[in-house]
Amino acid sequence: MATSRALVAFIVLISFFAQIWNSRVKSKVNLNEIHSRSLEIVAKRENPHLMDLELAKLKPASNSYVHELFPRPISGAPQLENATILMLCRNWELPGVLKSMRSLEDRFNKDYHYTWTFLNDKPFTERFKEATTFMASGKTQYGLISPQDWDAPSFINVTKWEECLQDFEDRNVIYGGSKSYRNMCHFNSGYFYKQPLVLQYDYYFRVEPDVEYFCDFQMDPFRLFRENSKKYGFVISLIEYEDTIPTLWEAVEDFMNANPDMIHPESMLDFLTDDKPIGADYLVVEHNSSYNLCHFWSNFEIGDLNFFRSEKYETYFKFLSQTGGFYYERWGDAPVHSIAAALLLNRSEIHHFEDIGYTHVPFATCPESEMLRLGKRCICADSTKTDNINLVPHSCLPRFWKYAGKSFLREYYHPEEYQ
């Protein structure tokens, strides 16, 4: 009996090794590599420091079963990217400008000292320059926008424009009667990246007056963009006012039909057109086209300037501009940028900064993870506890996650920052 059992065991053992050999031959598996990798994993588990470095790759979350780790404070001169912080503003907005600068300097730029670039269609006053220079931790520079880049194009029918302004104002469309707001949207859509002071940079961080950043960044978003091949970044995504863009999507469809080769094969067209409910609490949005009105709120915007300088984007902008919709209607740069990013980029090139707390009246967002708020020293507005824009029915963020995916590993990770 003992001999029989030994024989069976021997046969089973031989069969086991035969299966391994067959698997190795068929799939070209290198058992030595698997063994070496296994030893590395065991070594990390036995070394607390190496294990901590592995755990640091995970994004902090309220439902995490591991101890969250955060990078140590920056010391010394950090690696910098070819980037600038960009603000389009007026002299009279100085108090709001300084408020935004103070917030971003405290939460991010005091560690990096990136240059602030200010643009205005009127000359900046000496008082403005002095105050902003003192507030900045890095250099400041001031650009004057030419009338050719700021004013309405020559092909705009002034009489028709005046009639449209009055109509929009009578219907109480937001900023419906403002000429300067239309100039701003047209400029932000097709001219900001062409300004002489901006041409030297690869990346920009758009900042507006009277905004606030709730959490420490603990990373360089420009470096994140370069290392992960990102082109466009946002914090808030929501529904646009259709009254401001009644024919925008019609113009976009005409552009797509005229330039089908410019639409990226991995685009996020579905993010723009899918209007199926997501979640238990959803908002049914009536719209007069196949565009679901989702867009990225561009008052917070980090982007690759070379994307906007590309032939695809320039063709797209000129196509839209020639329709006159920026002036006869009130097309905003937010949906124009959003649609361009969604159509012309690979969906993997669009980034949601989920761990940056931010507010621009009337909306605010802050990380939901309590541990993330603690680790990044967030001071969030009381309204974000009950009215976080990411969680309300008119947010488009769940739809973005549906089509772009959601990572649970840090996109920005450097082991030396956790030593």
- In the predicted structure, residue 58 carries a pLDDT above the cut 90: no
Which of 70-79, 98-107, 219-228, 353-362 shows the lowest per-residue confidence on average (mean pLDDT)?
A: 70-79
- Residue 15: pLDDT band by 50, 70, 90 thresholds? low
Give the model's confidence band at 283: pLDDT under 50 very low, under 70 low, under 90 confident, else very high: confident
pLDDT at 69: 81
Whether 158 has a pLDDT exceeding 80, the answer reads yes
Of 280 and 90, the one with more pLDDT:
90
Where residue 387 falls among pLDDT bands split at 50, 70, 90? low
Q: What is 25-72 written as a DSSP string?
A: HHHT--HHHHHHHHHHHHHHHH-HHHHHHHHTTBPP-TT-SS----PP
Rg (CA), the chain: 26
For residue 316, give the nearest of 304, 303, 307, 327 by alpha carbon: 307
Q: Poorest-confidence range of 182-191, 243-252, 326-335, 391-400?
A: 391-400
Q: Enumerate the β-bridge partners of residue 233.
A: 302, 351
Is the pLDDT score of 49 beyond 70? no
CB 181 within 8 A of CB 187: no
pLDDT at 161: 97
CA separation for the pair 366, 104 (Å, rounded): 15
59-104 pLDDT, tens digit per residue, is: 877 666 667 788 888 877 888 999 999 999 999 999 999 999 999 9
Give the DSSP letter string of 166-205: HHHHHTT-TTTT-HHHHHHHHHHHHTGGGSTTTTT-SEEE
Per the model's pLDDT, the better-predicted residue between 210 and 56 turns out to be 210
pLDDT, mean of residues 157-177? 96
| Closest C-alpha to 13, from 1, 21, 2 | 21
pLDDT band at 206 (very low <50, low <70, confident <90, very high): very high
For position 18, what pLDDT does the model report? 59
pLDDT at 5 (0 to 100): 52
Count Cβ neighbours within 10 Å for each residue of 49-67 and write b for 16 or more, e otherwise: eeebbeebebbbbeeeeee
pLDDT at 186 over 70: yes
Please report which helix (H) or strand (E) contains residue 258, including its range: helix 248-258
Name the average pLDDT for the chain: 89
| The pair of three-digit structure tokens given for residue 164, joined into one six-digit string | 């449209």
Mean pLDDT of the region 334-345: 98
Q: State the virtual CA torsion across 383, 386, 387, 388 in degrees, nearest 10.
A: 90
Candidate from 112-126, 170-184, 288-302, 398-412 with smallest mean pLDDT? 398-412
Report the alpha-carbon distance of residue 251 to residue 68 in Å, rounded: 47
With a pLDDT cut of 70, the percent of the chain lying above it is 88
214 or 58, which is more confident?
214
Known catalytic residues are: 301
Per-residue confidence band for 8, with pLDDT thresholds at 50, 70 and 90: very low
